Structure 1
Amino acid sequence: MMTINGPVRVRFAPSPTGFLHIGGVRTALFNWLFAKHYGGQFLLRIEDTDEARFVPGAADALMASLRWVGITWDEGPDIGGPNAPYVQSERKQAGIYQPFVDQLLEQGKAYMSFTTPEELDQLRAASQAAGHKSFRFRGPERDWPLDQQRELAATGQPFTVRLKVPTEGTTSFSDLIRGGDGITVNNSELYDIVLLKTTGMPVYHLAHLVDDHLMGITHVMRSEEWVPSAPYHVLLYQAFGWQPPQ
């Protein structure tokens, strides 16, 4: 039996990269019904940080499709709410994410990475040639003092910001649907994920987590494909000192 403490707040956060597919409808429906069942609130948030795949008009089409199947929301891009704006590109323009990036950098929990895409491709190819099953990148800058990182950034050298993932120990998380003892992974099997692109746009890992925290999301229901990303999200919550949603 699931125990719910306090008001439930869930969200559906699609990316405007095309039409809403049946899997997205399923995820939205589960979140909406969960909120209705527990007398909570259902939020709609548009996660448009993937600039390369952005499709103009897709967000409006997504909202129209949700309404067509009878799903409505308590807060969202078109109706507003206390946590507006509900479109991540607008939240980025409002300066919501940068202070959290700066916090991680100042605390030594993230670092500026100046490795170019071409260099990453070469490192990935070398890793595959060496017979490694996966490529786990950890930038050399993770050991640089922040002042040294900032000096290079000041010259105009493009950089991303990466989470400094621990090289030892384990990371665990529980799943209310899966049940059991949860899932544990060795940190040595992880890599330093990108949090901020060279354009200054936050990636999904950072933006959705900051938004979920600021919007008071209590439960996260999403597709199976995101399970491998969960350890990174747990580590990011730990880096901020926040309690993750269930």
Structure 2
Amino acid sequence: MSHSVSAQSPLSFEIKSANLPLVMLRLKSGDVAVLEQELRERLAEIPGFFEGEPLLLDFSSLDEHTVVALPALLDLLRQQGLLPVAWRGGGAAQAEEARSAGLVHAPDARARADAAPSAAAPSNPAPQARGEVLAPVPTSALVIDRPLRSGQQVYARGRDLVVLAMVNPGAEVIADGNIHVYAPLRGKAIAGARGDADARIFSLSFEPELVSIAGVYRTAETPWPAEVWRKSAHVRLESGPQGDKLIMQALDMASRAA
């Protein structure tokens, strides 16, 4: 005897697949004290930047026997506004601790910039970071056509930022992709804010308080090179045997236009 089942949909709910974009923190050390110091140093430049973001912990760069004080790490991440929800990679002991902490196993989860170069740590003066946050792929640009005053902050989430007016001292321009300032840049410029090491910073008059790409930064406490100071210039990140460093180069606009 055959039986039929009603295909009528419930009126009170629906069940559908959903994709949740995650920030990914790839751990390179289980030392929570070191992680805390370096994470606070990095996030201090962009306070509130990751507020309320769901987070994927990636243990794949750790030895499977590395002990991670996960409760302390999760408390630290939540203090910084992050919401740890899942993990991937790691050994059996790490997996058991993650499960006990209520994290979801997400072995197939991928950050949107997994194929991009790794995010780097602040090189001046902070030590190399053990954790990295990977970036989403930038899409269309956010265009700002007004001057930015001290205390103002603009963030181009998941895309490039184009500013057509002056960025005054005390102002901040932040982008997950590139930053273009077609005016004097006198405040802070943070490109590749979620780890895009290919991001660049461009300005028609280079006079910043700070520039940063994928966490590698330099401040005006060290005088800017004469060849770029108050000139058209761009900044990029270069990796080499000695680590990551920012390269600043003048833009010869006249010869390019010829």
Q: TM-score, normalized by length of structure 2?
A: 0.27
Q: Which TM-score applies when normalising by structure 1?
A: 0.28
More strand by share: 2
Structure with max Cα Rg = 2
Task: Give the structure with the higher percent helix.
Answer: 1
